Amino acid sequence: MAFIVCYTEPMHNNRMLYVTVGLIVLTLGVGVTLWYKELKGQNLIESKPVIDFSSCIYAQGNLDVTGTICTDTTGHAFTKLQTIATTTIATTTPNTLSPISLGIATTFLVNDTKIIDSGKTLTLVAIHDSRCKPGLRCIRAGEFVTDWTITRGTDTHTISLGTVRTNTITENNYTYTLLNANEKQAVITVNKAVIITGTGTVTGTVKIDPVCPVESIDHPCIIPSETYTSRSVIVYATNKTTELEHHPLEATGQYTLTLKAGTYGLQIRPAGIGAGEIKTVTVTPLGTSTIDFDIDTGIR
C-alpha cells in the first residue's frame, strides 16, 4: 500500500499543473482579444469602410432613437434612405377635332373648331346680337351675326354670317350657310360649292341724252359716234370694286359681252352726271342677259 501511495501522488500534482497552465493561457487569450477590440477599435468580424447608413450599422455605429441616423466612431452621421412611394398620373391625349359632315346641320359653341377636310378647319370666333332690345324703338329688328375663321395651314381668313342678311357665303369651293343662332351657339351647314362652267352673253344699249344744247324739228341733234366710242363698259367682280374687263361701246351705243358664268357688276364710264350706276348681272352658261343704261350728260 505504501508503494501505491508514493506512485499516485505525483500524477495528481501534474494534473493540477496542467489545469492551472490551461486556465492561464485561456485568460491571456481573452485579455488579448478584449484589448485588441477595445483599444485598437477593430471589428473582429470583418473590417469594411463606413460610407453609408448600412455600412455604419454593420460597423456597430450608434443608432439614434428614430432609427434613421447612424453615427460612426469618427462622428460622421449617415441617414437612412427613405423609399418614396410614386404615383403615376394618368395623362389623356386631347380629343381630336371632330369632322363636319357636308350638308348636315352642325352646332358650334363659341371657340369650337371642326374639320372641313384634310388640313382645313372652321372656328366660330364670336356671336354678335344686334336685335332691338325690349322697350326700345329701332329702325330695324336686328339679327345675330356670327364671325368665323377658316384655316388651312398658315392661311387664315374670316367670314361673317347673319341670321337675316348674308346668311350664305361661298369661299374657296365651299358654301357656308348659317341656319340659326342665339347668344351661345350657331348652327351651320357646309357644302361643296357648285362650280358653274361655260360662258354666257350680255348685251345692251346705252342711251346718252341730251347731247345738243338746242334741238328743233328742222334741225335734229345728230349724235357723233365719238360720244359712244369714247365710253366703255366696265366689268366688275361680284364685290363691285375689282375691275375685270373694259369694252368700248359701239358707234351706235350698243355692246355685246361674252363672260364666264357667274355674277358681275357693269358700269358705263365715263358717265354723265355723277359716277354712274353699277348694275348687277348674272351670267348663265349659254344664256343671254340684257342690261341697258341711260346717261344724263347734264347739258341743258
Task: Please tell me the predicted confidence (pLDDT) of residue 90.
Answer: 38
Task: Please tell me the predicted confidence (pLDDT) of residue 85.
Answer: 42
Locate cell 500500500: which residue? Answer: 1
Query: What is the distance between the alpha carbons of residues 269 and 271, in angstroms, rounded to a whole number?
Result: 5
Query: What is the distance between the alpha carbons of residues 18 and 201, in angstroms, rounded to a whole number?
Result: 144
Query: What is the distance between the alpha carbons of residues 56 and 72, in angstroms, rounded to a whole number?
Result: 6
pLDDT along the chain (300 residues), means of 10: 47 66 72 58 57 80 80 82 46 62 94 91 94 78 91 92 89 91 94 84 92 71 87 91 93 94 92 85 93 85
Task: Please tell me the predicted confidence (pLDDT) of residue 84.
Answer: 43
Cell digits of residue 220: 335734229
Query: What is the distance between the alpha carbons of residues 79 and 62, in angstroms, rounded to a whole number?
Result: 12
CB 234 within 8 A of CB 267: yes
List 180's β-bridge partners, or say none: 187
Query: What is the distance between the alpha carbons of residues 22 and 15, in angstroms, rounded to a whole number?
Result: 11
| 3-class state of residue 35 by DSSP | helix
Burial call 160-179: b when 16+ CB within 10 Å, e when fewer: ebbbeeebeeeeeebbbbbe
List 294's β-bridge partners, or say none: 207
Domains of the chain as residue ranges with CATH: 2-79 (no CATH), 106-192 (no CATH), 199-296 (2.60.40.10)
Query: What is the distance between the alpha carbons of residues 138 and 116, in angstroms, rounded to a whole number?
Result: 38
Task: Please tell me the predicted confidence (pLDDT) of residue 194.
Answer: 75
Q: Which residue type occupies 183?
A: E
Task: Please tell me the predicted confidence (pLDDT) of residue 13.
Answer: 60
CB 49 within 8 A of CB 55: yes
Number of Cβ atoms within 10 Å of the Cβ of 295? 20
CB 208 within 8 A of CB 196: no
Q: Which residue type occupies 137?
A: R
Query: In this structure, what DSSP letter does residue 40 have?
Result: H
Number of Cβ atoms within 10 Å of the Cβ of 125? 16
Task: Please tell me the predicted confidence (pLDDT) of residue 42.
Answer: 46
Query: In this structure, what DSSP letter does residue 230 have?
Result: T
Query: What is the distance between the alpha carbons of residues 233 and 206, in angstroms, rounded to a whole number?
Result: 10
Task: Please tell me the predicted confidence (pLDDT) of residue 4.
Answer: 46
CB 53 within 8 A of CB 78: yes
List 168's β-bridge partners, or say none: 177
Pairing of strands 254-260, 199-209: antiparallel
Task: Please tell me the predicted confidence (pLDDT) of residue 274.
Answer: 76
Task: Please tell me the predicted confidence (pLDDT) of residue 127.
Answer: 95
Q: Nearest to residue 155, comparing CAs of 138, 179, 171?
A: 171
Radius of gyration of the chain (CA): 54
Q: Which residue type occupies 141?
A: A
